[in-house]
């Protein structure tokens, strides 16, 4: 049987960042917007598959085959649509590597998320955490009126094959793993699955 490469990704610089934005011109009222981010660093090139889970839906996103890297930036951002007239917030989960990136996002209505999401987000990785490749990793939970789960699947570039510029897990490793994840078995860059399909 052929298994995933035994390798780990190190979490670096996990932190909340705030920035001041101005709205409602000409008044230009200042507000704070927040995002959480971290770097994922390894001794070898790898891919990260982002998973944004809500209700019974899981949205996934990954980069192209040429974008394998030993350093990937993960960011969870919160963008209010209208500070004065709405509590609608866009939650954006993104990754960046080799000067390219991708994301999944969802709009929710929650005044507390708009004002300070740090109070409603449980982050599951710490500085210097070692994350194994070939496993599904919990990144964070957003405690909205229903929970939104952010996960990541990390995979060594050496465990993949390239088809038409996109990567997928090598068939012998896929067969041994017992996984039936469409984001591993095909080259699809973005898509949706239901929660039943996330179980091995």
Q: How confident is the model at residue 64 (pLDDT cuts 50, 70, 90)?
A: very high
* pLDDT above 70: residue 129: yes
> pLDDT per residue over 139-198, tens digit each?
999 987 778 999 999 999 999 999 999 999 999 998 888 887 889 999 999 999 876 666
Number of other CB atoms surrounding residue 73 within 10 Å: 17
What are the residue ranges of helices labelled H in the chain?
111-115, 171-177, 182-185
Does some domain include residue 152? yes
> pLDDT per residue over 65-76, tens digit each?
999 999 999 999
Does some domain include residue 200? no
pLDDT of the residue at 162: 97
What mean pLDDT comes out for the span 101-130? Answer: 92
Range of the domain at 126: 8-195
Angle, vertex CA 58, rays to CA 133 and CA 156, nearest 5: 15
The DSSP symbol for 145 reads S
pLDDT of the residue at 128: 83
Angle, vertex CA 76, rays to CA 5 and CA 56, nearest 5: 75
> pLDDT per residue over 22-35, tens digit each?
766 666 678 889 99
Percentages (nearest 5) of helix, strand, coil residues in the chain: 15, 60, 30
The set of residues, in sequence order, having a beta carbon less than 8 Å from that of 149 and lying 6+ positions away, is 51, 52, 53, 54, 138, 140, 141
Please, are residues 31 and 128 in contact by the beta-carbon 8 Å criterion? no
> How many domains are there within the chain?
1
């Amino acid at each position: 049987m052929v298994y995933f490469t035994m390798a780990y990704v190190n979490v670096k610089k996990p932190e909340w960042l705030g920035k001041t934005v101005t709205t409602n011109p000409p008044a230009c009222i200042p507000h704070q917007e927040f995002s959480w981010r971290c770097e994922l660093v390894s001794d070898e090139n790898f891919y990260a598959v982002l998973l944004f889970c809500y209700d019974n839906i899981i949205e996934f996103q990954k980069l192209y085959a040429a974008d394998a890297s030993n350093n990937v930036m993960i960011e969870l951002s919160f963008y209010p649509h209208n500070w004065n007239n709405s509590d609608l917030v866009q939650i954006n989960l993104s990754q960046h590597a080799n000067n390219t990136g991708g994301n999944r996002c969802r709009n929710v209505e929650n005044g507390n998320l708009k004002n300070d999401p740090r109070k409603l987000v449980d982050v599951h990785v710490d500085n210097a955490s070692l994350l194994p490749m070939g496993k599904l990793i919990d990144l964070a939970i957003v405690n909205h009126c229903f929970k939104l789960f952010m996960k990541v699947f990390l995979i060594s570039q050496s465990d993949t094959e390239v088809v038409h510029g996109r990567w997928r897990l090598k068939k012998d490793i896929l067969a041994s793993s017992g996984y039936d994840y469409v984001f591993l078995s095909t080259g699809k860059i973005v898509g949706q699955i239901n929660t039943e399909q996330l179980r091995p």
